[in-house]
Amino acid sequence: MDQNPTAPLPASSTSTDPGPDVVGEFAPPPASRPRRRYAVLGTGHRAGMYVAALTGDHADVGEIVAWLDPNPARIDYYDQQVGQALGRNAAAHLPRYAPDALEQMIAEQRVETVIVTSLDRTHAEMVDRSLRAGADVVVEKPLTTDAAGCRRITQAVADTGNDVVMTFNYRYAPRNSTLRQVIAAGTIGEVTSVHFEWVLDTMHGADYFRRWHRDKPNSGGLLVHKASHHFDLVNWWIDDVPERVYASGALRFYGDANATARAMGPRPERGTGAGADPFSLDLRDDPRLQALYLDAEQHDGYRRDQDPFAPGVTIEDNMSVLVDYSRGATLTYSLNAHSPWEGYRVSVNGTQGRAELTVVERGHIQLADDGDIALDPSATGSAAAVDPVRPAEHRLIVQKHWRRAEEVVIPDGIGGHGGGDAILLMDVFRRDLRVHPDPLGRAADYLDGARAVAVGAAANESMRTGAPVRIEDLRLGVPLAKDAHKSVQPATA
């Protein structure tokens, strides 16, 4: 699938035999039904998941008919992949367009759905224009970067009636959906509070400070780009909507000022060719990154491997957020981007007990003798790579009042992001073929995207002003209130 080479490779990514309750049952497409026509808008790294899906497992229900990106080299990379999937020994030569020709592309190529995987700051404009040109949209998280973007998208949905699918893949990771089952089944009673801690290690975490994400106007910072996943999980887990947010955060590890304060000495301008350095990324080490970025620099000058301690970093690397929910629950959330290990801990307190989910995605980063990062130990599969103190694992424990703690079995998933990517893609491309409604309600729409962005946008405003921010004061253009709770099948402890 589309596993970022700096991210941990969870064990569930190797599973190919998930339980039927995890994936759901989908009917085969009618033989007479034509394939849906998709265009890919933004041909960077994340687009790979969708290209692979539409040239592989989901080629029977959809096809890519056009590309939109200002960088021709990145289009070339994926166009070659499509050509190979079609059985050619050459590129597919699909039509390609620049961003200002979006409407032309939709009309000329009869595009039914636009897949938006471009820079976060472009999402609102591209979703709005796609909807108004007559296409539906599949959009990568985050929905947008701020309240103004939410207003633009919600108005376009209201004006056109066209569809927006949010791809919140973490909902589909079985460990996360199993926690959803436990909470929705009433096992721990009414939720009173949630504590959610997410840590990114210095291999994966540093990557956000090398890329375009390092500039806050591009990404909204990690509280929007990264944490929109996490805020969506909490919104979904407890089936509630956020009302008030207070946040504190700062850039305390990465960036040039921190490097100077810690006397780190001269730093390489970029990772490629820098030699042994645990904070550098050499694009030549990954053929896909070399093709998509290093070989594409001549067209736009974008460097994917900037030094995370170079000037120009305007996002935070340490963040804490307090969120009040409409039914009275409170979330305390923290995100750290320079941890020695990667994973997350979630504790959900209820009127009848407590649920605790612990996930270690990578227990440590191993250095080679020369001081450079060695092969990701979580990907070797060898016994020697297993950390005896902090092994890569996930565990869900439920404890009711006056009872012993019990462990809830987490089923296997398939694909990256904790086993959720491949299951998500079933809903993205085959949701109309579901035999039964998903009892977990994992499919997300633009309202779910707005609810997640609302927390991050309010947190950014709170960090700016030092005051709590009410979600309603953001004027998102649409009420965020939830419908009546959906029935969710319980998990067995």
Q: How far apart are CA 324 and CA 346, in angstroms?
A: 17
The yes or no reply on domain 35-167 and CATH 1.10.260.40 is no
> Which contiguous run of DSSP H or E holds residue 107?
helix 102-108
Q: What is the DSSP letter of 170?
A: G
Query: Are 106 and 37 a contacting pair, CB within 8 Å?
Result: no
DSSP 492: P
Reading the block at residue 446, the tokens are 């633009």
Q: Using CA atoms, how far apart are residues 434 and 440, in angstroms rounded to an integer?
A: 13
For position 416, what pLDDT does the model report? Answer: 53
Q: What is the pLDDT along the chain (493 residues), one digit of tens a residue?
A: 445 778 886 554 444 455 556 788 999 999 999 999 999 999 999 999 999 999 999 999 999 999 999 999 999 999 999 999 999 889 999 999 999 999 999 999 999 999 999 999 999 999 999 999 999 999 999 999 999 999 999 999 999 999 999 999 999 999 999 999 999 999 999 999 999 999 999 999 999 999 999 999 999 999 999 999 999 999 999 999 999 999 999 999 999 999 999 999 899 999 999 988 999 999 999 999 999 999 999 999 999 999 999 999 999 999 999 999 999 999 999 999 999 999 999 999 999 999 999 999 999 998 888 878 875 555 444 555 678 899 999 999 999 999 999 999 998 766 555 567 888 999 999 999 999 999 999 999 999 999 999 999 999 999 999 999 999 999 998 888 866 334 444 444 4
User: How many Å is the Cα radius of gyration of the chain?
Assistant: 22
Question: Structure tokens of 118?
Answer: 């471009």
Closest by CA to 455, choosing from 221, 130, 136, 264, is: 221
- What count of other Cβ atoms lies within 10 Å of the Cβ of residue 376? 18
Return the sign of the alpha-carbon dihedral for residues 139, 145, 150, 153: negative
Nearest to 112 by CA among 51, 60, 65, 50: 65
β pairing state of 353-362 and 36-41: unpaired
- Please tell me the predicted confidence (pLDDT) of residue 6: 85
Output the DSSP codes for 295-354: GGHHHH---TTB-TTSTT--S-SEEEEEEEETTS-EEEEEEEEEESSEEEEEEEEETTEE
d(CA 14, CA 148): 40
Q: Both ends of the chain: CA-CA distance in Å?
A: 32
pLDDT at residue 479, as a whole number:
85
pLDDT reported for residue 372: 81
Domain boundaries, the chain: 35-167, 170-254+313-474, 256-300
CA 412, distance to chain mean position in Å, is 20
List the CATH code of the domain at 170-254+313-474. 3.30.360.10
Count Cβ neighbours within 10 Å for each residue of 317-333 and write b for 16 or more, e otherwise.
bbbbbbbbbeeebebeb
Q: Edge-to-edge strands of the sheet including 469-470?
A: 406-408, 393-400, 353-362, 342-350, 191-201, 330-339, 318-325, 242-250, 469-470
